[in-house]
């Protein structure tokens, strides 16, 4: 691409120095060439972007708007449904005491006296 620019500029400069064209004509030609080159690059970029977007499955805004109009025409609603807050019933926690199993009284006395049973 850079070679194209330099070769084009060389051609225009040689025509200018040889007197074939006036500076205004050369400037107009260069301006036209740059505009056309810019449009060409823009078209290539748009094609590549469209190809990448289609590959990933995205939809263009224009296509989406057209589909939205079709849904509206069929009587469907395109408004998002209102989200209803769902209240969960509060669960009450009942406090429970942990009770250690009761030791027999005889075992307590034996332990206190140091006697094994």
71-115 pLDDT, tens per residue?
999 986 556 656 666 566 556 665 566 666 665 565 555 555 665
Check pLDDT > 70 for residue 66: yes
Bigger pLDDT: 27 vs 78: 27
Q: What is the pLDDT of residue 8?
A: 78
Domain segments of the chain: what residues? 2-78
How much of the chain exceeds pLDDT 90, in percent?
23
Mean pLDDT score, 22-41: 87
Task: Judge whether 110 and 117 are in contact, CB under 8 Å.
Answer: yes
Mean pLDDT score, 37-41: 92
Check pLDDT > 90 for residue 47: yes
Which of 5-9, 18-22, 39-43, 50-54 reaches the highest mean pLDDT? 39-43
Please give the full DSSP string across the chain, using - where no structure is assigned. -HHHHHHHHHHHHHHHHTTSS-HHHHHHHHHHHHHHHHHHHHHHHHHHHHHHHHHHT---HHHHHHHHHHHHHTT---SPPPPPPPPPPPPPPPP----PPPPPHHHHHHHHHT---
């Amino acid at each position: 691409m850079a070679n194209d620019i330099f070769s084009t500029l060389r051609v225009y400069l040689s025509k200018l120095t040889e007197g074939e064209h006036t500076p205004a004509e050369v400037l107009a030609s260069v301006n036209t060439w740059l505009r056309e080159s810019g449009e060409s690059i823009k078209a290539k970029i748009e094609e590549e972007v469209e190809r990448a977007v289609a590959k990933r499955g995205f939809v263009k805004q224009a296509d989406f708007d057209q589909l939205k109009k079709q849904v509206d025409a069929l009587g469907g609603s395109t408004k998002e449904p209102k989200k209803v807050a769902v209240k969960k019933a509060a669960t009450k926690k009942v406090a429970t005491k942990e009770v250690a199993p009761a030791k027999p009284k005889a075992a307590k006395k034996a332990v206190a006296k140091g006697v094994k049973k």
